A = this chain, B = another copy of it.
């Protein structure tokens, strides 16, 4: 089964609002084996809405819309789709009663007259109760069985209705999924997209009949396998076998799967081995600490850190040598190592992690361009630095440095 999605609203089209509903609906439907094959966004104009719905019905016969069901004059979804289906809008007394009761229950006073329009329903359409807001959803179909479901655009209401009503309805309509779109993500870091593709060779074009997508980001390159047209059980088998092949061929650059977070993995590794962590950050200014402490329960491994943005703080708090700074500069292997050692000693932890670099836009030189970063891990064997030159803007360079420092811990601790 294939469905088209149409998200409606000037705020989406004009870019004031990022369309998060579309991603939510796609993920929810994929789990039923239903595929979104096309998505459109149109503004609050009845002819544009009708045209987009007409095209989508022509292609798939199954359409979900979000938005344009509110009580104000710019909410045009109901009349546009009623007209397209050649139906009158008729007042539904049960919906009036539901909206009135909602206003009473919330203690927000009597229902404003403007809300009456939300009880105007295309003749023959089925009303889908909205337990999370005033705008009911609507299901309209034609003699050929082609249908449109209209959902509200408020994310909380849309999500509630998908879960309460739409997914169960669709599950009943299509039966148990015979085939599903299922994906599996293998996460890599410390290797570029092209180098990873070369390492994978022919596998880069896909495995076991499944395409492989390369998704580069600041965390690294994710490899996503997508199975289509298989039963969920077969897909699971094929995905696991393909994932195993990818893990074997890609090697130690693979750090996790699906939504695995490198900081969580590193915390778990350290927790298991009874290790504690302190951080020393220069160019990242606290990002590494912020990322680690984002994880609930991080306090049993992470003790804290020093943000040594100024050189005087590196000297006073981390005991970096003035001579080291003078001789090698703040962005150097030597300073990164002394920072990592200093953090570990100052905070009394088993591991110290340090980051120093030039995040730009200023501060670069021919010898040390913007993006030059030195990372070090102290407390696992000899303290050694890792030098990298990252591309990207200031924030991206900082994010990449943070990720790489965690990966250095993963590799060091993993080798114990």
Contacts and interface: CB of A to CB of B under 8 A. Distances in A.
Interface string A154-182: 10100000000000000000000000010
Contact of A18 (B14, B19, B39, B70): B19
Given A11-B224, A297-B362, 8 more contacts: A11-B215, A12-B23, A16-B213, A73-B206, A115-B194, A285-B286, A303-B313, A304-B310
Interface string A218-232: 000000101000000
A216 interface: yes
Chief secondary structure at chain A's binding surface? mixed
A288 B312 CA distance: 20
10 contacts: A19-B19, A37-B43, A38-B41, A281-B286, A294-B394, A296-B360, A296-B362, A299-B310, A303-B312, A310-B347
A347 B312 CA distance: 8
Contacts of A41: 22, 38-40
Contacts of A299: 309-310
A13 interface: yes
Contacts of A396: 156
Contact of A71 (B26, B193, B389): B193
Nearest to A112: B194
A13 B42 contact: no
A14 B38 contact: no
Please give the count of copies of this chain that the complex contains.
2
Interface stretch (A119-127, A197-205, A241-249): A197-205
> Which of A107, A286, A302 neighbours the largest number of chain B CB atoms within 10 Å of its CB?
A286
Interface in A91-142: 106-109, 111-115
B284 A293 contact: yes
Contacts of A42: 37-39
A373 interface: no
A361 interface: yes
Contacts of A183: 14, 16
A302 B284 CA distance: 13
A412 interface: no
Given A36-B14, A197-B112, A299-B309, A216 B362 contact: no
A286 B292 CA distance: 9
Nearest to A371: B106
A72 interface: yes
A279 to B, nearest CB: 7
Interface of A: 10-20, 22-27, 30, 36-44, 48, 52, 55, 70-74, 106-109, 111-115, 154, 156, 181, 183, 192-195, 197-198, 204-206, 211-216, 224, 226, 279, 281, 283-290, 292-294, 296-299, 302-310, 312-313, 316-317, 346-348, 360-362, 389, 391-396, 398
B309 A286 contact: no
Nearest to A214: B72
A307 B304 contact: yes
Contacts of A52: 38
A287 B183 CA distance: 33
Contact of A195 (B23, B112, B216): B112
What are the 6 A-B residue pairs with the smallest beta carbon separation, nearest first?
A285-B293, A286-B286, A286-B289, A15-B26, A15-B23, A112-B194
Given A74-B213, A114-B194, A304 B293 contact: no
> Which of A23, A109, A224, A346 neighbours the largest number of chain B CB atoms within 10 Å of its CB?
A23
Contacts of A198: 112-114
Contacts of A360: 296
A407 B195 CA distance: 46
A281 B293 CA distance: 11
Given A288-B286, A393-B156, A304 B306 contact: yes
Contacts of A302: 285, 309
Nearest to A205: B73
Given A289-B307, A297-B362, A73 B26 contact: no
